[in-house]
Structure 1
């Protein structure tokens, strides 16, 4: 068994003994010091757990322009052509309307340098044809009017001839009736004269005279019948002539109307060709103005797509990129879909730009260094292809903030934090451990559609 003494060894007297093991023994008070430190850290941790923490939603994005007109745009040519010369180079600043590029036409139908003069000559000829057709239409209108006037006169004359024939027919019929009566009387008389001659009352000479009178009256009846037949035939002919005049008038009018319709159709077709030529002349004039490609607005020329002299470009093909001057910068920030309902327009955002050193405490934005302020201006109504939603953040200068650096360029990377409400740190840690989204003290107000 060990011979253990109850006497304590004074540590200060160890120097008198050359024993290294005693010197390496731990100090019994170090455990108490460690316990005190752990207690201190525990108390500090408990206090920290109840400190306020600003909930936030982080996202990554890039710099862009707030309005579409300030974003980089491709310069395109409306017509196909061949590059003749460039008047700008990469990085040049251009103003609206400055000439960037001169091209020539590659379609053979526009090769003629005097094409507008030729088209004007064709237009003059077509206008002359249109006027000639108009004159023909007017002449046919006069012809139709003359036909109507002439047919009225001819019809009146024909109707008069019909009436005259009817009158003569009536007179001839009356004359025939009278002559027939006279002939009948003559026949009655000759019968009496025959009896008187047989009785010897009259001579043979008187009888023969009476017989001759009968023959004469018979001849008158036959002549009057012939005359009546001729009058009837004249009446039929007059009626036929009336019908013929009407039919001939209809035929002439139909022919005149047909000629007039053809003239009107030709004039309308010529008028359409005149309008087509005028449209073609205007198109050629406008097309010749498109041989010069101009800057749509002030900005900088970036990355020409077609550079060689003599290269051909198609219609609508990008020629170069134009970065508009002095764009109204904004940040495209992409956040998760589960966080979008908690974000409203006007929410404060802290931003960290690529190339600007910053120290960001997302929960305590007041102690962050090197970040810049912004506010949510637009929240997209639909998600991007990767399922995230885009926020547009515009600059806002809060007290103590610096304005956005003037050296920022469109397309630079950005990291941002959308600031929400204050909660204790213990709640935020509990939320993160459970994977819950941030919470709000009040229901978010419905954002005005952007």
Structure 2
């Protein structure tokens, strides 16, 4: 612009003669910028007193609250070979639906009629046990008969001993009579000899008397022999009585031994029957494991074994099933310094992967795309330096999206106390933790409890003084 046309030069004739006056004038843009800066500073100062909701940020994944709702692997109870697949990945199954058919790989279970043959063996053992019990009863009857026969034989032997004793007594009396006859015959013979010498008796009479004496002598000898035989018979009867007890005792001992052997075999058979019943039950149960079934309603996620003819071991996972309609929960991990600030029931805001959100962590009411939750579980032990927290949907807030899948990422903000923005900035700069916020009911109880505690302390002091 020419110097003569400058507005300042035209308004002031004195300064218009000098070009430097026009160049040192304060520009209007600087003043405008200063006004804007002052206004922004005032707004920033005022904004520092706005409320800010303190929060604890954490990340995690989506899981389920109940253990039975989490993905589970279905193992094979027995070792086998895959014969047929009944499902495909992603298919919905009901509880009890067959997933895989397997066949035996152990040679001891190859027989298709193994259960039936084992049952037949069990029936045979039961029949053998019944016959064994009958034999034991027969041996018991035999022992009873032997004891009864022993009593009869003993009574018979005792009677024979008594009879022999009476016969001995009779023979002894007969011996006494024979000795008396012998003595009389001997005296008569002597007198007959004297009379014969005197000539008073004839030789014939003497010979007759001698014959009678010989008969008396023979009779005495016969009676003595008879008594000896009777005594021998008595001794034999006593020996028979003594041997009879030993003979029957031997028979009873042998019968008792047979009976105990039968009883031992019976107990052994009962043990074998119990073992076979156990084996039969195991075989019957094992036959139900040839089909691997779904433990609950859900979806087949992944087949861990592929193809046909693949060998699976006992307890080896075969397929993974995701339960249907699980109770979702957000699994968040919190730093140990923030755990004292949380308790069950604390409100949480969540952002899920795949759902767009505009988040203002300090102003949760203005955030968009976040969902409400409530702290349900806080672990008592740490997991790799952090504590696990389970958050469930807040029934008072908007429901979580239905397409959510277990395992997706989650971002969470546990809402704490409301403080001014300047205090939050000051706390962040100094690295201080958020304010510890107790439950309002707890605070109220604490305040009331303080008065009650003081009153209780006074009452206790008074009672102590009285006791002293």
**If the length of structure 1 is used for normalisation, what is the TM-score?**
0.83
Instruction: Select the residue among 402, 405, 420 that pairs with 1:406.
Output: 402
Instruction: Select the residue among 393, 396, 409 that pairs with 1:395.
Output: 393
* C-alpha distance in structure 1 between counterparts of 2:51 and 2:243, whole Å: 116
1:408 deviates by: 0.4
**Match runs of 1:182-193 below 5 Å:** none
Counterpart in the other structure of 2:367: 368
Instruction: Select the residue among 411, 415, 436 that pairs with 2:411.
Output: 415
Higher mean C-alpha displacement, 139-148 vs 262-271? 262-271
* C-alpha distance in structure 2 between counterparts of 1:417 and 1:156, whole Å: 107
Change (3 A) 1:372 1:179: same
Give unpaired runs (5+ residues) of structure 2.
Answer: 1-6, 443-468
1:342 deviates by: 2.6
Counterpart in the other structure of 1:265: 264
1:409 deviates by: 0.1
**Match runs of 1:284-363 below 5 Å:** 284-363=283-362
**If the length of structure 2 is used for normalisation, what is the TM-score?**
0.80
1:395 deviates by: 0.5
Change (3 A) 1:212 1:69: same
Contact 1:304 1:319 in 2 (8 A): yes
* C-alpha distance in structure 2 between counterparts of 1:147 and 1:342, whole Å: 92
Question: Residue 303 of structure 2: SS of its match in structure 1?
Answer: coil
* C-alpha distance in structure 2 between counterparts of 1:365 and 1:18, whole Å: 63
Contact 1:344 1:444 in 2 (8 A): no
Higher mean C-alpha displacement, 252-261 vs 44-53? 44-53
* C-alpha distance in structure 1 between counterparts of 2:273 and 2:9, whole Å: 123
* C-alpha distance in structure 1 between counterparts of 2:204 and 2:11, whole Å: 222
* C-alpha distance in structure 1 between counterparts of 2:47 and 2:358, whole Å: 20
Change (3 A) 1:211 1:330: same
Change (3 A) 1:198 1:374: farther
* C-alpha distance in structure 2 between counterparts of 1:433 and 1:193, whole Å: 170
Higher mean C-alpha displacement, 68-77 vs 40-49? 40-49
1:244 deviates by: 1.9
Counterpart in the other structure of 1:27: 27
Higher mean C-alpha displacement, 58-67 vs 166-175? 166-175
Contact 1:358 1:370 in 2 (8 A): yes
1:373 deviates by: 0.5
Higher mean C-alpha displacement, 82-91 vs 276-285? 276-285
* C-alpha distance in structure 2 between counterparts of 1:17 and 1:243, whole Å: 174
Contact 2:9 2:17 in 1 (8 A): no
* C-alpha distance in structure 1 between counterparts of 2:376 and 2:10, whole Å: 74
Question: Residue 381 of structure 1: SS of its match in structure 2?
Answer: strand
Higher mean C-alpha displacement, 272-281 vs 198-207? 198-207
Higher mean C-alpha displacement, 389-398 vs 211-220? 211-220
Higher mean C-alpha displacement, 352-361 vs 127-136? 127-136
Counterpart in the other structure of 2:95: 96
Higher mean C-alpha displacement, 340-349 vs 231-240? 231-240
Change (3 A) 1:242 1:208: same
Counterpart in the other structure of 2:436: 440
Counterpart in the other structure of 2:451: none
* C-alpha distance in structure 2 between counterparts of 1:426 and 1:204, whole Å: 180
Change (3 A) 1:436 1:182: farther
1:228 deviates by: 3.2
CA-based RMSD of the aligned residues comes to 3.5
Change (3 A) 1:102 1:209: same
